[in-house]
Amino acid sequence: MRELSSAVTLVAVLATGGVAQEIGPPNGALVVSGGGDVSGVILERFLELAGGSDAPIVVIPTSSAPDSCYLDLSIPDCRFDASYSGLRRFRQAGARNLTVLHTRDRQVANTAEFVAPIREARGVWLMGGRQWKHADSYLDTKVHEELHAVLERGGVIGGSSAGAHVQGDYMNVSRSSENEFAGRRLPESVWRQGFKFLRGVAIDVHVLARNRQFDMVGVIQSHPEMLGIGLDESTAIVVRGDEFEVIGSSYVLVYDNERWVEADAEETFRTVGGPFYFLRAGDTYNLKTREALRPTTTREPIGRVVRKSWSQP
């Protein structure tokens, strides 16, 4: 196994002439979706950013592949070719140039032959499932390097649920099932490491649909330097550089250790304030300044969000 290092970051720095990525990708775009239904505006935007219906798209289903597929690819659910059922939504959205790429073998993921389709791709979509399967298979491999290269040449990387979670810097890994992690191929010290397309960012998904809106609070309390982004289902952020726009039908939650929802006066009994706030479709966010804007007659800050450290009384 190749030693985990900063090699991928170095590749990105060299490719941009020495200008290191700050938070979002210096080139290209990300479409980061919270799960659920990603048809409609989310896939339409992904294909638009990739270059249209004829753009070469690679779909990576590794996070959803059953563990049994690692041993026997002849199982019907393990056919990751043109018949793969996960391609249906992309075809319905108009995509005509699709390739499926899957392995759980890190040695295979480190071969030039395996990554060849990514080198031709204008867009790559990471499917949902278990985010640690994406990481175990591809973190710090040639696949990981070529995903960064897709962005460097102006392409787009998208993902839903697990495929969104892994795009961040930090993954909040549950220990709810010992059996689930018995087969992990990476050392525990890097279990929480994502692909770092968004640096200094932790991502959670399905947040409102599964009542997970408070889960990120503990993550940011433990890692106050990080930004937390929670995505509900059927909703995504489109990231270009250090800014993103919200698209879809639900909400995005922002967890910033230096921002707080201001409490009303005590006599209103309406709220005590809180450590996260909501963005909706059309809202934009600057990842560098951590400022959110809402489109009205002008671009205005999100109401009731004030500068206040979570550590303040």
Q: For the residues 113-137, what does the mean pLDDT come to?
A: 94
Please list the residues that pair with 60 across neighbouring strands.
126
pLDDT digits (tens, 9 = 90+) for 265-303: 777 777 778 999 999 999 999 999 999 999 877 788 998
pTM: 0.87
Domain locations in the chain? 7-307
Reported as type and span, the H/E element at residue 299 is: strand 299-301
Tell me how far CA of residue 181 lies from CA of 78, 95, 130, 184, 306, in angstroms.
21, 35, 11, 5, 40
Q: Which of 135, 189, 193, 190 is nearest to 162 (CA)?
A: 135
The confidence score (pLDDT) of residue 311 equals 83
pLDDT digits (tens, 9 = 90+) for 211-229: 999 999 999 999 999 999 9
Reported confidence tier of residue 85, pLDDT bands at 50, 70, 90: confident
Torsion angle of the four alpha carbons 246, 250, 256, 260, in this order, in degrees rounded to the nearest 10: 120
Query: Domain 7-307: which topology?
Result: Rossmann fold (3.40.50)
Distance CA 191, CA 184 (A): 9
- For the cut 50, the answer to whether the pLDDT of residue 10 exceeds it is no
112 burial level (CB within 10 Å; 0-12, 13-18, 19+)? exposed
- For the cut 70, the answer to whether the pLDDT of residue 180 exceeds it is no
DSSP letter for each residue of 144-182 = HHHHHHHHHTT-EEEEETHHHHTTSSB-----S-TGGGT
Amino acid at 142: K
Task: Show the CA angle centred on residue 223, arms to residues 198 and 256, nearest 5°.
Answer: 65
Query: Rounded mean pLDDT of the chain?
Result: 86
Reported confidence tier of residue 74, pLDDT bands at 50, 70, 90: low
